[in-house]
Amino acid sequence: MADLIVGIQWGDEGKGKIVDAMAGEYDYVVRYQGGHNAGHTIVINNKKIALHLLPSGILYEHCKNIIGNGVVINLEALLTEMKSFDNLQGRLFISDKAHIILPYHEMLDKAKEKSKDKAAIGTTGKGIGPCYGDKVSRNGVRLMDLHNPTQLKAKIQAIYDQIQYTQSLYDITLPSVESVVEYIESVSHQILPFVTNTTQLLWDAQTKGEKILLEGAQGSMLDIDHGTYPFVTSSTTIAAGACSGSGLAPRDIQRVIGIAKAYCTRVGNGVFPTEEKGAVGEKLREAGKEFGTTTGRSRRCGWFDAVAVRYACRLNGCESLSIMKLDVLDGFSSIKVCVGYEYKGKEIDYIPTDYECVKPIYREFEGWDKTSHIRVFSDLPQAAQYYIKELEHITGTKIAIVSTSPERDDTIRC
């Protein structure tokens, strides 16, 4: 059976720490969607380790790590990350069905964003959307194509025949087919030893009774179907994506563990009902060091949105929640939680499709002095204990883990 860790907000919830904390109990850790636009930061003995494509289980020698078919891969970014680790052979496996982000994907991503001006989505500009676009239009290049250079060149030439018009449309100059093929061929020998049929690998692992942990990227509110469209990512970030992005069946997934911050953040544009644009938002940003692992961009910050979390928990079928970064709320005299919305003259407790029309309804909680580095629930200040218990009640989901610092061991099991 497999367990799944999934983000419940707009990403950056702290999934990496929980995967890292749990990975030691598993034989396989699987990344199943997204690209190098995502990042997980893990802190061990005050040392920060940033992962973008490699699963978080890579930090455990006994773990086998899979980059699944649902991931889109920038070869240069992957190789750079791989160089930070030794002895990856037999520990890292990459799906032969995973799609490759090609140089023109990044160029098109940036050009399209620039052309939208104020309507821009706020992407990382790393080519993720255009690559998924090629995949869905059945026009993509997969890692299995690295085995056949002649076929690879023919595929890329066919793509170029279709997209040549974009050069004048966006005022860009695409790299030549020859240069793209030449680059891929120059690095393919470093990648191919790790490329395999990862779906069959996972099925074999299940037959042997081995334990599998599925690791999501981004967050549920950025899901292509159920997120705040069009300000979303280009993949399925909810639990359903774990099946399509790995080859496992829904019945193979035993536990779904949702990850949410004790407050809320978002990167890029799009609706964010509880955003605080003044001093409160700035205090959360500074205390939480809310700057992107991958891009360094400042994150928008605001109060915990219990309506959105309840919605995402239902979408994913969460068995439990992990509440991260409780310590960031230390020192606030009062803390707010969104428990409903004002919507077209009514009060509602759900997310409407025209989400941009809502205004938050808050419930206020007493603040506390210090939770940082506490590892036992009963040692938390009474106000913090009450806050966690009420979040559990409002979201309708058991809170099983509370994190009180980035450090691996500063984790409360409830």
Each of the 414 residues of the chain gets a pLDDT tens digit; together they read: 899 999 999 999 989 889 888 988 999 999 999 999 776 666 666 667 778 899 988 889 899 999 999 999 999 999 999 998 888 999 999 999 999 999 889 888 887 777 666 565 667 778 898 899 999 999 999 999 999 999 999 999 998 888 877 777 777 788 888 999 999 999 999 999 999 999 999 999 999 999 999 998 899 999 999 999 999 999 999 999 999 999 999 999 999 999 999 999 999 889 999 999 999 999 999 999 998 666 677 899 999 999 999 999 999 999 999 999 999 999 999 999 999 999 999 999 999 999 999 999 999 999 999 999 999 999 999 999 999 999 999 999 999 999 999 988 999 998
What does the block give as tokens for 64?
């086998």
Q: Is 255 annotated as a binding residue?
A: no
What does the block give as tokens for 286?
């500074």
What stretch(es) of the chain map to CATH 1.10.300.10? 99-193
Which of helix, strand or coil describes residue 57? helix
Q: Is 197 annotated as a binding residue?
A: no
Contact of 338 with 273, CB cutoff 8 Å: yes
What does the block give as tokens for 151?
């076929």
Strands (E), 110-211: 195-196
Contact of 35 with 277, CB cutoff 8 Å: no
The CA-to-CA distance between both ends of the chain, in Å, stands at 24
pTM tops 0.85: yes
Q: Does 230 sit behind a cis peptide bond, omega within 30 degrees of 0 on the bond before it? A: yes
Q: Is 299 annotated as a binding residue?
A: yes
Q: Is 37 annotated as a binding residue?
A: yes
- Give the domain 99-193 fold: Adenylosuccinate Synthetase, subunit A; domain 2 (1.10.300)
Q: Is 353 annotated as a binding residue?
A: no
What stretch(es) of the chain map to CATH 3.90.170.10? 2-76+199-413
What CATH superfamily is the domain 2-76+199-413? Adenylosuccinate Synthetase, subunit A, domain 3 (3.90.170.10)
Q: Does 175 sit behind a cis peptide bond, omega within 30 degrees of 0 on the bond before it? A: no
Question: What is the distance between the alpha carbons of residues 25 and 240, in angstroms, rounded to a whole number?
Answer: 23
Q: Which residues pair with 95 in a beta bridge?
A: 196
Q: Is 171 annotated as a binding residue?
A: no
**Nearest CA among 152, 178, 148, 173 for reference residue 163:** 173
Residue 320 phi, psi (nearest 5): -155, 165
Residues belonging to the active site: 12, 40, 135
The enclosing H or E element of 146 equals: none
